[in-house]
Amino acid sequence: MTTSATPGEARSASGPALPIGPKPIPRRFHQARWDEPIIFELSTPGARGVLPPATEPGITALVGDPAAALPAGVRRSAPPALPELSQLHVVRHYTRLSQENLGADLNIDVGQGTCTMKYSPKVNDRFARDPRIADLHPLQDLSTVQGVLEIAWRLERLLAEISGMDRVTLQPGAGSAAIWTNVSMIRAYHASRGDTARDEVVTTIFSHPSNAACAKVAGYKVITLYPDADGYPDLDALRAAVSDRTAALLITNPEDTGIFNPRIEDFVRVVHEAGGLACYDQANANGLLGVTRARDAGFDLCHFNLHKTFSTPHACGGPGAGACGVTSELARFLPRPTVEFDGSAYRLDDDRPESIGKVRPWYGVVPNLVRAYAWIMSLGAEGLREVAEIAVLNNNYLMQRVLEIRGLSAPFAAGKRRIEQVRYSWDEMTRETGVHSEEVGFRAADFGAHYWTSHHPFVVPEPMTLEPTESYSRADLDEYAAILRTIAAEAYADPAFVHGAPYQSTIHRIDHEPLDDPERWAVTWRAYRRKHLAPDPAEAT
């Protein structure tokens, strides 16, 4: 119909017009949907993606083909049944898959509370990829790696100052590995004193599950404290829990509720008086940088997640990097080697008889150590303090905005401010509409937003955990709140619609049931083919 309009004539309200109308809130997003096959389905027999160097004739002339001489028992009888693709097709497949992934660079990544999804500066990626980091071998002569050792040494000193601890190891692979490292040092400390009766560790339900799980693997019985009526870790419960069997307290502060434990010094004192060590899981440190320190509260050990607080990218779930800080009394138990500096040269000290040994091959996730170092050096003391303050401001601003939404609440510590994150509850909305928190996340995907509930168990019913960090602007926070408000309104108006989400995402609602059925689950394509596809007649012959 619009084709009949004459030039210069104003279009009707239903047709295109200038000025272009305002953008709706939230934005009209649609994720890439390539309907991409499994890579095995893209295979063309004979195609090659990359060619390894061929053996020179001079080598063959001297040694023949040693692979052919392998005895039958250890020689591969047929090449592995990998897919065969030309290079472009590998690139295209993975580029499509990458488009079907929202990274923190694309979304307002405040929905993964506890994980501090802050911006990872691009310049730091450049350092990490430099051949003078990426192509160093860990056994090179120390004279050829003074730069990377200096970075490790300097980073250790920075983190020691930030935590107040005396020494720091950068060896753990990520946060849970750092928790393990601390638990292992706690075990070594008590063993060194012949104090072997200590077989219990105390933690809290709002501390990361790995605190409980690592302690269990290290041989400890785990006592888990629940919050008091106000949402604070329960000091009386702690007093009742500690004894001469207490090896340590493993605690997060603020806990995953974003509530700072004002009695933290009492917690440390109670554990110390019982002869245990106090270990601080600083996964939630982002709101406290330059504000308060682990050592000042009396802790003996602490750990940071460099991929959270110190900006290294989360890489779809690693590599991250962990750092453990300890007092000088515990330094002898640190993983070996340590980096040492004598005023002119850096060296590795591997001769540490009381060390717990290795917690990882070599020295740590080096590219992320470089990134974390560069990040801190771009901010300095005042910058770190500003990171904390803005992260906390952003959190309290976002809390104010989202608590305007019908059906949402922030359990515990009513009327109080929070530190860097909040664990909310959609319980009221769920009871009134039948829409669960998890489904809010499915629908959030339709708006290009990542969303997470909480760790298990769901102590807070229908949980949602938001942590806005310092990286997001006020407009970003408003946009995220608008997405949640829209979804809540949809839930009240038409719950069935939310039950059917996502609509604009890469895929539609998954049936998870087969994933728990041994007859049907398939962790690999070969298992899927065996269990669910008819045998290929060509292979049968």
Partner 1 sequence: MTDQQARPHPYIPNAVPEVKAAMLRAVGAASIDEFYADVPPSLRLTAPLHLPEPFRSEAELVRHVEGLLRRNTSTRDVLSFLGAGCYPHHVPAVCDEVAGRSEFLTAYAGEPYEDHGRFQALFEYESMMGELLEMDVVNVPVYDGFQASSTALRMAGRLTGRRRVLVPASMSRDKRSRILDYVRPDLDVEEVAFEPATGLLDLAALGRALGDDVAGVLVENPGYLGVVEARAAQIASMAHAAGALAIGDVDPSTLGVLAPPAAWGADLACGDIQPLGIHQQFGGGNGGFIASHDDPRVVMEFPSRLFGIAPTAVPGEYGFGDVAYERTSFAVREEGKEWVGTAAALWGITAGVYLALMGPRGMQELGETMMARTRYAMTLLAAVPGVRVPFSGQHHVKEFVVDLSATGQTVAAVSRGLLERGIFFGKDLSTEHPVLGQAALVCVTEVHAQADIDRLADELREVLR
Bridge partner list, 346:
341
Is residue 222 involved in binding partner 1 (CB under 8 A)? yes
In the chain, the amino acid numbered 265 is E
Q: Is 469 left (phi over 0), alpha (psi -120 to 50) or beta?
A: left
- Smallest distance from the beta carbon of 5 to partner 1, in angstroms? 39
DSSP state of 281: E
- What residues have CB less than 8 Å from 108, skipping those under 6 apart? 449, 472, 476, 477, 479, 480
Residues 227-266 close enough to bind partner 1 by CB under 8 A:
259-262, 264-265
Beta strands in 190-288 (DSSP E): 200-204, 221-225, 246-252, 277-281
Residues 388-407 close enough to bind partner 1 by CB under 8 A:
389-390, 392-397, 400
> CA 262: distance to chain centroid?
27
Question: Residues, the chain, total?
Answer: 541
Is residue 461 involved in binding partner 1 (CB under 8 A)? no
Q: Which stretch binds partner 1 (CB under 8 A): 1-9, 31-39, 235-243, 483-491?
A: 31-39
Residues 495-514 close enough to bind partner 1 by CB under 8 A:
502, 505-512, 514
One of 168, 174, 274, 334 touching partner 1 (CB under 8 A) = 174
Nearer to partner 1, 92 or 428 (CB): 92
Is residue 215 involved in binding partner 1 (CB under 8 A)? yes
Nearer to partner 1, 308 or 491 (CB): 308
Bridge partner list, 360:
none
Is residue 226 involved in binding partner 1 (CB under 8 A)? no
Is residue 291 involved in binding partner 1 (CB under 8 A)? yes
Is residue 449 involved in binding partner 1 (CB under 8 A)? yes
Nearer to partner 1, 432 or 528 (CB): 528
One of 108, 110, 156, 184 touching partner 1 (CB under 8 A) = 184
Exposure string of 155-166, with b = 16+ CB inside 10 Å and e = fewer, is: bbebbbebbbbe
- Smallest distance from the beta carbon of 503 to partner 1, in angstroms? 10
- Smallest distance from the beta carbon of 329 to partner 1, in angstroms? 20
Residues in contact with partner 1, total (CB under 8 A)? 220
Is residue 173 involved in binding partner 1 (CB under 8 A)? yes
DSSP state of 413: S
Sign of CA dihedral 399, 208, 252, 450: negative
One of 374, 410, 429, 488 touching partner 1 (CB under 8 A) = 374
Is residue 142 involved in binding partner 1 (CB under 8 A)? no
Phi, psi angles (nearest 5°) of residue 277: -100, 155
**Contact (CB, 8 A) for 469 and 388:** no
> Mask 301-340, x = binds partner 1 (CB under 8 A)?
----x-x---x-xxxxxxxx--------------------
Is residue 538 involved in binding partner 1 (CB under 8 A)? no
One of 12, 192, 243, 473 touching partner 1 (CB under 8 A) = 473
**Contact (CB, 8 A) for 451 and 441:** yes
Is residue 193 involved in binding partner 1 (CB under 8 A)? no
- Smallest distance from the beta carbon of 21 to partner 1, in angstroms? 27
- DSSP SS3 for 110: coil
Residues 1-20 close enough to bind partner 1 by CB under 8 A:
none
Q: In the block, which residue shows the tokens 């601080």?
A: 280
Sign of CA dihedral 443, 449, 450, 456: negative
Beta strands in 309-383 (DSSP E): 322-326, 338-341, 346-349
Is residue 144 involved in binding partner 1 (CB under 8 A)? yes
